[in-house]
Amino acid sequence: MDAAVETRRAIDAVFRIESPRLIAGLTRMVRDVGLAEELAQDALVTALSQWPETGVPRNPGAWLMTTAKRRGIDLIRRRKMAERKHAAVGYDMEMDQEAAVEALESSLDAPDGDDMLNLMFTACHPVLPTEARLALTLRLLGGLTTEEIARAFLVPEPTMAQRIVRAKRTLADAGVGFDVPRGDERDARLASVLNVVYLIFNEGYSATGGSDWIRPALCEDALRLGRMLAELAPNEPEVHGLAALMEIQQSRARARIDGKGEPILLNDQDRSRWDRMLIRRGLAALAKATALGGLAGPYTLQAAIAACHARARTPADTDWQMIAALYGTLMQVTPSPVIALNRAVAVGMAAGPEAGLALADALLNEPALKNYHLLPTVRANLLKQLGRMDEAHREFERAAAMAHSEREKALLLKEAQECVN
């Protein structure tokens, strides 16, 4: 391979790893996410021009930070710092330029962990709509390009670019502080952060559109963010609960699709292909979560449910009584029609398909599930277990018509056909 190509790949890899920390430190310096990202990109451009000749430095992250910092200082000296940036870092317009430079230099002494946590809270601020939080988090903390994010969420790249630009402008216009809030606001913001990471993982785990059943790259990005958050906020039980949930769910990745990319449902999976290391990591994170807060939060409860599956060597070993009880508790903590539907499945396995079908039927008039393909899917499976094949066939077909994923649609149509053969 050409040396220049190798160097370019090395630079790309280094930047993806280092960019979240780089942008976090720069955001603390300039108090502007957009400008921080611009400075980080400038440092990357400089690396692309210099490293092919000089080689990748021993500490590339420090090199990039120093380069970006010098670029920021240069901006102050050449443009005398725009009034908005002065206000953002808390300096008066009359302040001596050299004093401002010194202040910016000294502002880089805070721990990286603090910066990363602050950036996570900033990117997931409730002032942004959910889709903007997802995009900005993947951009700033996941290190993904706009093209990669657009492809992951099946939208045109210009649309995603506009979404990211609007998000950064919204944060600037709202004067969102680059820090972790306290008290009730902190709890609300932490819930937003966890929700964004969870949504990213779910989109990768069960794609809502397109031809793929799963999108492993999104799962990996969410898992990386979850692990990072667990290190940055080690005393928060739900942080560990979410990490546990994702670790255990991701452990099944290799067993969830066949060689042709077709989905394999849980009970049909070869459990020897489940990643035991990820399961051990997940169970350890679950133990941390329960030690800190018990089985009280929604992510910890979902992780406990996933753990029941992970501990079962065969489908017959699954403790469905425990799963049904955990879903009952989850319904009390965060009641929702989707959780109620999952509980119907668990009850159907624990107490028989008639009991499960009764719970599923009670959700037929639930507005939130009107176009949710998993409601007819659940009913179809329960009807099939009861031998009511004609009804099961109709429900599978109805579910297929609602499904957005092409792989899932094909699977449901196959199930429908099997009911009449």
The residue type of 84 is R
For residue 251, which of 287, 285, 298 has the smallest C-alpha distance? Answer: 285
Indicate the DSSP class of residue 94: T
Whole-number pLDDT of residue 56: 81
**pLDDT, average across residues 193-213:** 72
67, part of any domain? yes
Q: For residue range 303-346, list pLDDT tens digits in order.
A: 999 999 999 999 999 999 999 999 999 999 999 999 999 999 99
235, part of any domain? no
Q: For residue range 15-55, list pLDDT tens digits in order.
A: 777 888 888 888 877 778 888 888 888 888 888 888 888 88
The residue type of 46 is T
Instruction: Round to whole Å and give the CA distance between 211 and 16.
Output: 27
Indicate the DSSP class of residue 257: B
206, part of any domain? no
CATH of the domain at 389: 1.25.40.10
Q: Within 10 A of 397 (CB to CB), how many other CB atoms are there?
A: 17
The set of residues, in sequence order, having a beta carbon less than 8 Å from that of 120 and lying 6+ positions away, is 137, 141, 193, 225, 228, 229, 232
Burial 198-222 (b: 16+ CB within 10 A, else e): bbbbbbbbbbeeeeebbbeebbbbb
How confident is residue 79, by pLDDT bands cut at 50, 70 and 90? low
CB contact at 8 A, 3 and 49: no
> Looking at 91, 110, 129, which one is the last position of a domain?
110
CB contact at 8 A, 66 and 26: no
Q: For residue range 102-140, list pLDDT tens digits in order.
A: 545 555 444 455 777 788 888 888 889 988 988 888 888
Q: What's the N-to-C CA distance of the chain in angstroms?
A: 55
Instruction: Report the domain count for the chain.
Output: 2
> Looking at 73, 92, 110, which one is the last position of a domain?
110
How confident is residue 99, by pLDDT bands cut at 50, 70 and 90? very low
Q: Does position 176 have pLDDT exceeding 50, yes or no?
A: yes
For residue 64, which of 14, 104, 125 has the smallest C-alpha distance? Answer: 14
Q: Which two tokens stand for residue 57?
A: 């430095």
224, part of any domain? no
11, part of any domain? yes
Indicate the DSSP class of residue 271: G
User: DSSP string covering 116-184, please?
Assistant: HHHHHHHHT-TTS-HHHHHHHHHHHTS---HHHHHHHTT--HHHHHHHHHHHHHHHHHHT--SS---HH
> Looking at 88, 110, 132, which one is the last position of a domain?
110
pTM reported for the whole predicted model: 0.75
Whole-number pLDDT of residue 2: 65
Q: Does position 363 have pLDDT exceeding 90, yes or no?
A: yes
Q: Is 3 left (phi over 0), alpha (psi -120 to 50) or beta?
A: alpha
Average pLDDT over all residues of the chain: 84
237, part of any domain? no
52, part of any domain? yes
**pLDDT, average across residues 46-74:** 83
Q: Does position 384 have pLDDT exceeding 80, yes or no?
A: yes
Burial 250-286 (b: 16+ CB within 10 A, else e): bbbbebbbeeeeebbeeeebebeebbeebbebbbebb
Q: Does position 87 have pLDDT exceeding 60, yes or no?
A: no
Instruction: Round to whole Å and give the CA distance between 246 and 198.
Output: 8
| Domain carrying residue 368 | 319-421
Instruction: Round to whole Å and give the CA distance between 80 and 73.
Output: 10
Whole-number pLDDT of residue 88: 52
297, part of any domain? no
Burial 120-136 (b: 16+ CB within 10 A, else e): bbbbbbeebeeebbbbb
Residue 143 vs residues 83, 192, 295: alpha-carbon distances, Å = 30, 20, 33
Report angle CA 350, 356, 358 to the nearest 5 degrees: 145
CB contact at 8 A, 346 and 323: yes
How confident is residue 216, by pLDDT bands cut at 50, 70 and 90? confident
